[in-house]
Amino acid sequence: MTDTAYWCERAWLPDAIAPRVLVRAGAGGTITEVSFVDTPPLGAIRLRGLVFPGFANAHSHAFHRALRGRTHGAGGTFWTWREGMYRLAERLDPDGYLRLARAVYAEMAVAGIACVGEFHYLHHGPGGARYADPNAMGEALRRAAADAGIRLTLLDTCYLAGGIGKPLAGTQPRFGDGSVAAWAERLAGMREDATTRIGAAIHSVRAVPADALPDLVAAAPPDRPLHVHLSEQPAENEACLAAYGRTPTELLHDAGALSARTTAVHATHLREADIDLLGGAGVTACLCPTTEADLADGLGPARALADAGCPLALGSDQHAVVDPFAEARALEHGERLRTGRRGHFTPADLVTAATAGGHASLGWPEAGRIAEGAPADLVAVRLDSPRTAGVLPEQALFAATASDVDTVVIGGRVVACDGRHVLLGDVGRLLTEAIGELWR
């Protein structure tokens, strides 16, 4: 790849929005120059509207995308939705997962997402039978992200129990390795590459017994992210208190699982002491507002977590929508609904959560900013659409949607333009075909 120049009508730089910004991407896909030029130089690609850094989706379950628009008729709760998720999981094999994940990651790319954190627990075949390659499902995700042109942090997930004190049952043997040692051995077979980093995840305190947590923490890659589902449901807290006499946060703290490399996903139903523990350890809180609303999970204490010292990140989780603008707005809107007051997070706070905060939680701290040395990830958003016309550029995040993304550059190359994936074509067709095959 040769050097490429992009001329931005406006760009969201680390300190301010600036007009007429020239960004040069080197052969390695990183930014080599950010300067101010009144007119586009010869050969530069013009990016219209307001250019953001690439967004990070810090929490994804790619296969859940096949449930969108299929779970609402019967109502219910998170727990009834989970039964539908298990039925879907039964249908997937490595080839089908590759097709589905490729389409899902392409949808993310078109929406401006440059990096995804895949919380990956669908490891094995039906009944828990191992594939010839024990990481075949993870390799499908790696290939899917590469095909879609986005970076991947594969958060390989340890899943040992069907609930506190319960064995794996039904679909769950597909998720489990039997022990921390067996999980760690399989994880050791995964290799990083230029666009893939390998992290670890504790599925939850429901799925990993308390006595296994310290061993899991010790076995996880020491310089890579460690993610965990935390207190998404009150029932999880109640079961944990009944079994261990501690909240899930306290249990993780006692096991040494809370540190600056840890990301707590959801963190919805927390006590004040839990928030203090998370903030004191510098744990990132990854909220997934559209999923938490769709599954009736509740409103996480985003402002309190941030005030306690937790960096914030955002994820689309089960992909009720794939829209980083919607997730960022919902972070603020949740606080408004809780308090009856506006203005808990500034637009800059929300952009940071959607970009640099998410990238850091996924082990890419150099990403998520338009600056020399950062990956050349640029997301041009129109300011003249029916949604964004007339907005102040600094408040565009509160009006734009993924449909307003005009051009997406990841690692220095254009991967999407005018709502179409440059490498893969019509994303709607890809999704229709992949999801149709699963439900046929």
What residues does each domain of the chain span? 4-53+368-421, 55-362
Residues forming the active site: 266, 317
- Is the entire prediction scored with pTM above 0.85? yes
Query: What pLDDT digit, counting tens, does each position of 368-406 carry?
Result: 999 999 999 999 999 999 999 999 999 999 999 999 999
Which pLDDT score, from 0 to 100, does residue 261 have? 98
- Reply yes or no on domain 55-362 having CATH 3.20.20.140: yes
Report the C-alpha gap between 113 and 110 in whole angstroms: 7
Q: May I ask the CATH architecture of the domain 4-53+368-421? A: Roll (2.30)
Which pLDDT score, from 0 to 100, does residue 1 have? 56
Query: What pLDDT digit, counting tens, does each position of 424-436 carry?
Result: 999 999 999 999 9
Query: What pLDDT digit, counting tens, does each position of 51-88 carry?
Result: 999 999 999 999 999 999 999 877 889 999 999 999 99
| Mean of all residue pLDDT scores within the chain | 97
Which pLDDT score, from 0 to 100, does residue 73 have? 78
Please report, in tens digits, the pLDDT of each residue of the chain (440 residues total).
578 999 999 999 999 999 999 999 998 999 999 999 999 999 999 999 999 999 999 999 999 999 999 998 778 899 999 999 999 999 999 999 999 999 999 999 999 999 999 999 999 999 999 999 999 999 999 999 999 999 999 999 999 999 999 999 999 999 999 999 999 999 999 999 999 999 999 999 999 999 999 999 999 999 999 999 999 999 999 999 999 999 999 999 999 999 999 999 999 999 999 999 999 999 999 999 999 999 999 999 999 999 999 999 999 999 999 999 999 999 999 999 999 999 999 999 999 999 999 999 999 999 999 999 999 999 999 999 999 999 999 999 999 999 999 999 999 999 999 999 999 999 999 999 999 999 98
Largest distance between two CA atoms of the chain = 68
Which pLDDT score, from 0 to 100, does residue 72 have? 84
